[in-house]
């Protein structure tokens, strides 16, 4: 059974992302995130260990047997990164930040705010209402 941190992160994902969101799971391991979020169908996994990719292939949309630090990709709605076994997680996170609407990482990384427990995510821009204007504006 997953611990509370994982459950809270899954709740965050369900509250903020539609089930058809494009999600990338970096260092997907045995596919734990996909098991926790089975209703999400557009999930790709990447892992540097081929047996993990083979094991995850039936549940992920696509799997890639690649080193996380060398894997290049286009935009995703959400990227989840397991930093274990990544020699330079800051580099992988920096690359991901340019290619996603939000990012969830399992370790504190500069520029991310704590989501819950041991997880961190992309800071969202602050919103404010300017005097005399209706609605909100990014600042």
CATH 3.40.50.150 for the 4-138 domain, yes or no: yes
- Condensed to tens digits (0 to 9), the pLDDT of residues 29-83 reads 999 999 999 999 999 999 999 999 999 889 999 999 999 999 999 999 999 999 9
As a whole number of Å, the end-to-end CA separation of the chain is 41
* Phi, psi (rounded to 5 degrees) for 92: -65, -40
pTM: 0.83
Pairwise CA distance, residues 138 & 33, whole Å: 32
């Amino acid at each position: 059974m997953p611990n509370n941190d994982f459950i809270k992160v899954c709740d965050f994902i369900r509250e903020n992302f539609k089930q058809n969101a494009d999600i990338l799971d970096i260092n997907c391991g045995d596919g734990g995130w996909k098991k926790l979020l089975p209703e999400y169908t557009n999930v790709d996994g990447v892992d540097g260990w081929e047996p993990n990719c083979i094991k995850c292939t039936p549940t992920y949309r696509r799997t890639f047997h690649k080193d996380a630090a060398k894997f290049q990709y286009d935009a995703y709605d959400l990227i989840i990164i397991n930093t274990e076994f990544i020699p330079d997680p800051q580099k992988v996170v920096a690359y991901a930040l340019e290619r996603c609407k939000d990012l969830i990482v399992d370790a504190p990384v500069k520029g991310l705010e704590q989501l819950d427990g041991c997880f961190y995510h992309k800071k969202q821009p602050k919103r404010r209402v300017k005097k005399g204007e209706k609605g909100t504006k990014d600042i």
